[in-house]
């Protein structure tokens, strides 16, 4: 059963992810404050990479006895979710590209 500390850590992680996604893709150079697809894509890839590094760090901390196993499981689950989301978006982009190629000119 998760401890209250683990639940608080999970909530804090979700809050951080919400803050990160609120600013995804904002292009400071855009005059209308709109989103740039390239910057959104870069931010998402960076977030996935950061989630992977965080899960690696938690796994190393458990190996040295400095972390709780629940924190590792939470970090790995966050990393897995981020990768699955990225793969899903990639599949949608490829499907849209293929649909565009099938359009008559």
Domain ranges for the chain, please list them.
4-102
pLDDT surpassing 70 at residue 10: no
pLDDT digits (tens, 9 = 90+) for 46-101: 888 888 898 898 889 888 888 888 888 888 888 898 889 889 988 999 999 999 99
Cβ atoms of residues 78 and 20 within 8 Å? no
pLDDT surpassing 90 at residue 103: yes
Greatest Cα pair distance, the chain, in angstroms, is 63
Name the residue with higher pLDDT: 52 or 32. Answer: 52
Cβ atoms of residues 13 and 71 within 8 Å? no
The mean pLDDT of 3-27, rounded to a whole number, is 53
Compute the distance between CA of residue 105 and CA of residue 88 in angstroms, rounded to an integer: 29
pLDDT attached to residue 1: 42
Those residues whose C-beta lies under 8 Å from the C-beta of residue 41, and which sit 6 or more positions away, are none
pLDDT surpassing 80 at residue 34: no
pLDDT attached to residue 12: 55
Name the residue with higher pLDDT: 15 or 62. Answer: 62
pLDDT attached to residue 16: 61
**With 0-12 CB in 10 A as exposed, 13-18 as middle and 19+ as buried, what is 78?**
buried
């Amino acid at each position: 059963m998760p401890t209250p500390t683990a639940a608080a850590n999970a909530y804090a992680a979700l809050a951080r992810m919400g803050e990160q996604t609120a600013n995804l893709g904002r292009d400071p150079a855009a005059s209308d404050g709109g989103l740039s697809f390239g910057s959104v894509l870069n931010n998402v890839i960076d977030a996935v990479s950061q989630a992977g590094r965080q899960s690696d760090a938690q796994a190393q901390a458990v190996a040295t006895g400095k972390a709780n196993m629940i924190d590792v499981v939470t970090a790995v689950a966050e990393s897995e979710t981020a990768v699955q989301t990225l793969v899903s978006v990639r599949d949608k982009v490829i499907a849209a590209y293929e649909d565009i190629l099938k359009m008559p000119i």
